[in-house]
Structure formats: structure tokens, C-alpha cells
Structure 1
């Protein structure tokens, strides 16, 4: 089944991409995970760190939100978590087997995005994997009233393209996939997007009705809920002449 595009091309069907998950792609591109040392940049409350440590990896997470870091420490005591920004990582060069930015790069202030990529490549002795949601798809459309990330998601993709065009990194692998997400209803969906950013809570409450309408329009009904697809792009980068 296909979904329509957003915006002026609303009447045109959107081509459905291969379904996938970030964790499956991480295992495929960076595995085996057991015994390897990863940095999770923009780790939030530790969901990715928990999944990686469960697979035997050693994980350090970093996030600028102190509250999120406290939650991550409680949820994943076997990992290490630090408060800090992606643009100034407090680790020696070559500290990690690989560095991951999962759904976090577009949260870096736009003027600091290039510095964040440089820092991530500096502290990794292996590749940098950036997995980002694109500014399209049913999940994105349902979320837009609460927070429209169109501009910043496009800026994140442009920052990666510029970084590569400047000769500062090479793209090793590049893949776009549909992350299929299922929700029991509008409240479960809003809980999800507010958990990512608690600052969305007031808008989520106020715009609940509008979001419910969009979920009906864009989502695929399933038994017990609705499916909302979010396209993601995964880019595996290797450093070219990055200096500390």
C-alpha cells in the first residue's frame, strides 16, 4: 500500500521503500556488536544504549539534556552516560570502534552540525553512522502540528552533503528505509513524540484533535491501532583528513 506525499504533490502516491529498523541496520553494518565499544551521540534516555548493551556491546552515551542523562543512567546502569554537546565531545581521538547518531543529528543546532560530524569522526577509530528521519511520510505528517521539523531535517541532510562535498568524509554506505511504527491510538502516538522532547507536551495536549484527524488520514488502520511509516536515511561515513 502506498501513501500520498505531503504538500503540493498531495495527490501523487509516495513510493513505498523497503521496511527496516535502525537496530537491524546497525547490526548489519557495524556487527558483530559483542565486545565492541560504541559512542551514542544524542543518546536521550538510553533506548539505543540499552539495546546495544543487551547484545554485548560497551556503550558510552552523551546528550546535552541532564534530565535525559539521569534517566539513561537509571535505565542502563551497565553503560556510561555523560552530559555534553555533539559539537565538543570530551573524549580522546580514536576512543571508539564506531560512533552513532540515531535520530539525533537534526537536534544539533544548524550552525554546529559540521563541528558535530567532525567531532564524531575524530573520536571514532572506525566509521560514523548517522540515521535520520526524513521530512516526509505518515509519521512526519501526523507530528507536524505539534512540531514541524521540515526545515531542520532538510538542514541535517544538507550538512552531511556539504561535509562530504568539502572532502572531509566519504560515504561508505547510504540507504533509505521505512521504519514501520504502530500505535494503539492518538494518545500513544503523542506520548511517543513527547517522550523524545518534553517541550512538546503543551502543544500535544492542545492539538490532540488535529493530530487524531491526521493519523486517520495518513495512517494505515490495523487491528488494535494504526500504522505510521517514517522514512529514514542511514549514512555510513569514514573520515578524510579530520584533525582534532
Structure 2
């Protein structure tokens, strides 16, 4: 099992939390109208509502939206893709794409960024997992997101280079994740995408071996850090 900082585990980064970045970079959260893009089943919306935000979540998967509505009745949820947001310009005080840009179909990534920047009067915070790190390596037998994650970073870079967005600030950090066993890890990645269920069941042994190779023993469980890049974007003046 890899130890932190060993060869193959990637350069050590400061530990962080996507939720902490969201709260700090979009502060004050309380009272603000925030758009949660790729809201899934509503986990982030629930967190933001509990801190006083007025939240609207969007997701293209109807089943996820239905579950979000049931679980977070204080928020509003719509079934739509990020590239087709049905809101007027400047409808929100800020927007968040948490681990969602790389799930947008590649031909629609630029349109999705344009749409979110259009409807947000304030900053747009994109937090994306990088194609590296112990968590990523353990997940690869089930789904290798190398190309998808690289495409998300490239889409951000193109938007900036073309003058369609400007970077206000950015930060790379390790999201520290701990799991008691392989089944808990598989439940996590299948929960994010139920379409992974069959592969997760079939490849359980391979995943368990990679957890042993890449993970760090931490008490009774295994630590699998996932490097993330957070980028705070704004719409350039005049656009």
C-alpha cells in the first residue's frame, strides 16, 4: 500500500474540501441565490440551503432531479442540461459546478460554460477532479475518466484564452476521502453514477487490489485522496 508522498502517489498537496472552497469563495452564502449545476441528488444543495442560501439545482437526469426534490424541498430543481439553462441573464448571485463539467458531453462543454456565465451575475466556481491521485487510480478499472477530466480542463483553458471568461483565482488541493473497505468505495462511485453498477460488481477484485496499491492505511480504513482544481471564473466586462 502506498504511503503519502511515495513514488506513484503524486506530489503531496494541501488537504482541502470542496465545500470549504465553495463557502469561502462564494461568501457570504447566506441569502444569496445560487445555481448548482449538475446537482445530482441534491447533496450540495442541501449543504447550501442549511447555510441560508436560496438554491436552484439543475441536472439532465430526471431520476436524480426527482430524488433531489424529495430530499431538499427547500430548493428548486429543474431537469435540464447545463448548455440549455432556461434562466434570464444575471438571474443568480453565483453558480457552482462541483465535479460536473467533465460529465457534460464534450461537444457541449463550451456552450455549458457560456450558459452558466450568462445566468450568473456573480462568479462561477468550477471544481473538477484531476486525472490523478489514489482515488482516481482505484476507480479506473470501473471507469477511466482520464480523457473526460482532461477535456474539462481544456474547455476552461479555451474559454479563458478566447476571452470568454477570466480567472479570478484558482487552487489545487487534495480532497481527503476515507473508506472502511472496497464495498464502501464502490458504493460511493456507483452512487455518483448508477451506470457503473455492473462494472463495479464485476471488477470488485481489481478495485480492491488497486485500493491496496494506491491507498494509505488510516486506522481501520483506507485513505484515497482525490486531487481537485478549483477555478473561480467571471464574465469579462463587455460580454
Write the distance in 2 (CA, Å) between the matches of 1:153 and 1:241.
29
User: What is the deviation of 1:4?
Assistant: 3.5
User: What is the deviation of 1:109?
Assistant: 0.5
- Post-superposition CA distance 1:133-165 (Å, at most 9, x none): 000000000000000000010010001001100
- Alignment partner of 1:121: what SS? helix
Q: CA contact under 8 A between 2:10 and 2:132: conserved in structure 1?
A: no
Write the distance in 1 (CA, Å) between the matches of 2:113 and 2:83.
8
- Alignment partner of 2:226: what SS? strand
Change (3 A) 1:105 1:242: farther
Q: In structure 2, what is the equivalent of residue 70 of structure 1? A: 66
- Alignment partner of 1:231: what SS? strand
Stretch moving more, 101-110 or 28-37? 28-37
Runs of 4+ in 1 over 4 A off after TM superposition: none
Write the distance in 2 (CA, Å) between the matches of 1:44 and 1:30.
20
- Post-superposition CA distance 1:39-82 (Å, at most 9, x none): 00000000000000010100000000000001101110100000
Write the distance in 2 (CA, Å) between the matches of 1:121 and 1:242.
13
Q: CA contact under 8 A between 2:129 and 2:228: conserved in structure 1?
A: yes
Q: 5+ residue gaps in structure 1?
A: 6-12
- Alignment partner of 1:2: what SS? coil
Write the distance in 1 (CA, Å) between the matches of 2:114 and 2:207.
37
Q: CA contact under 8 A between 2:37 and 2:57: conserved in structure 1?
A: yes
Q: What TM-score, normalized to structure 2? A: 0.97
Q: CA contact under 8 A between 1:33 and 1:56: conserved in structure 2?
A: yes
Q: In structure 2, what is the equivalent of residue 195 of structure 1? A: 191
CA RMSD, 1 decimal? 1.0
Q: What TM-score, normalized to structure 1? A: 0.95
Write the distance in 2 (CA, Å) between the matches of 1:160 and 1:27.
22
Q: In structure 2, what is the equivalent of residue 234 of structure 1? A: 230
Q: 5+ residue gaps in structure 2?
A: none
Q: In structure 2, what is the equivalent of residue 10 of structure 1? A: none
Q: In structure 1, what is the equivalent of residue 79 of structure 2? A: 83
- Post-superposition CA distance 1:9-62 (Å, at most 9, x none): xxxx62111100011011111112110110000000000000000101000000
Write the distance in 1 (CA, Å) between the matches of 2:173 and 2:91.
30
Q: In structure 2, what is the equivalent of residue 27 of structure 1? A: 23
Q: CA contact under 8 A between 1:3 and 1:16: conserved in structure 2?
A: no
Change (3 A) 1:75 1:3: farther
Stretch moving more, 116-125 or 13-22? 13-22
> Which residue among 188, 191, 214 is the counterpart of 1:218?
214
Structure with the bigger RCO (C-alpha within 8 Å, sep 6+) is 2
Residue 12 of structure 2 corresponds to residue 2 of structure 1: no
Change (3 A) 1:3 1:133: farther
- Alignment partner of 1:14: what SS? coil
